[in-house]
Amino acid sequence: MYLTQKNKIRNLSSTEFKALRQLCRLSKNMYNVGLYSVRQFYFSEGGYLRYESNYHYCKENENYQLLQTDIAQQILKVVDRSFKSFFNLIQKAKESLYRFEQIRMPRYLKKEGYFPLIIPRIRVKDGYFNIPMSQKFKVEYGAVKIPFPERLVDKNLKEVRIIPRFDA
């Protein structure tokens, strides 16, 4: 049983790499959009905007519409986990188990940066899996097929993460 397996993505065309880079950039933008709505709710209402409510604020955003829905929702769940951690630290500080000076609100990612693509479901066909993307994005950049590792062919995968390295 494998818990995690790393694979380097190779043998893709330059247009496929460009599409992956753009998807990771959209992922970063989606993270910042989700973070913005939660932060603004916190500053105005003093409370916590949960994932379910944050989704309704973010679903009209162009980044959400260019990413495939499953991927965009996974990114919003990462924002939700970040803020849950923030509020739990505040609670621990109130109980004198943590210092208030060490608590920092989750920060925005850099404008030129990238964020991982979290793909909860994939389909393998002919030894490749397609990166899910919206129709609008696919028309502009084309489909991206990545070779699927042979040792994972008959395994049940929970998710695939594409982590951008070295300037994506």
Tell me: pLDDT of 159 over 80. Answer: yes
Number of domains in the chain: 1
C-alpha 144/C-alpha 17 separation (Å) is 8
pLDDT in tens, 79-106: 999 999 999 999 999 998 888 888 999 9
pLDDT at residue 158 in the model: 87
- What is the average pLDDT value for the chain, to the nearest integer? 91
Tell me: pLDDT of 3 over 80. Answer: no
Q: Is 3 inside a domain boundary?
A: no
Q: Is 102 inside a domain boundary?
A: yes
C-alpha 51/C-alpha 78 separation (Å) is 9
Q: Is 1 inside a domain boundary?
A: no
Contact 149, 80 (CB under 8 A): no
Give the structural domain span for 140: 14-162
Distances (CA, A) of 65 to 27, 32, 42, 135, 137: 11, 15, 25, 9, 9
pLDDT in tens, 51-86: 999 999 999 999 999 999 999 999 999 999 999 999
Q: In sequence order, which residues have a C-beta less than 8 Å from that of residue 37 and are 6 or more positions away?
A: 49, 54, 57, 58
**The two structure tokens encoding residue 67:** 């990413």
Q: Is 47 inside a domain boundary?
A: yes
pLDDT at residue 155 in the model: 82
Contact 132, 7 (CB under 8 A): no
Q: Is 158 inside a domain boundary?
A: yes
Q: Is 139 inside a domain boundary?
A: yes
Q: Is 6 inside a domain boundary?
A: no
pLDDT at residue 154 in the model: 82
Q: Is 34 inside a domain boundary?
A: yes
Tell me: pLDDT of 168 over 70. Answer: no
CA dihedral sign of residues 51, 112, 25, 163: negative
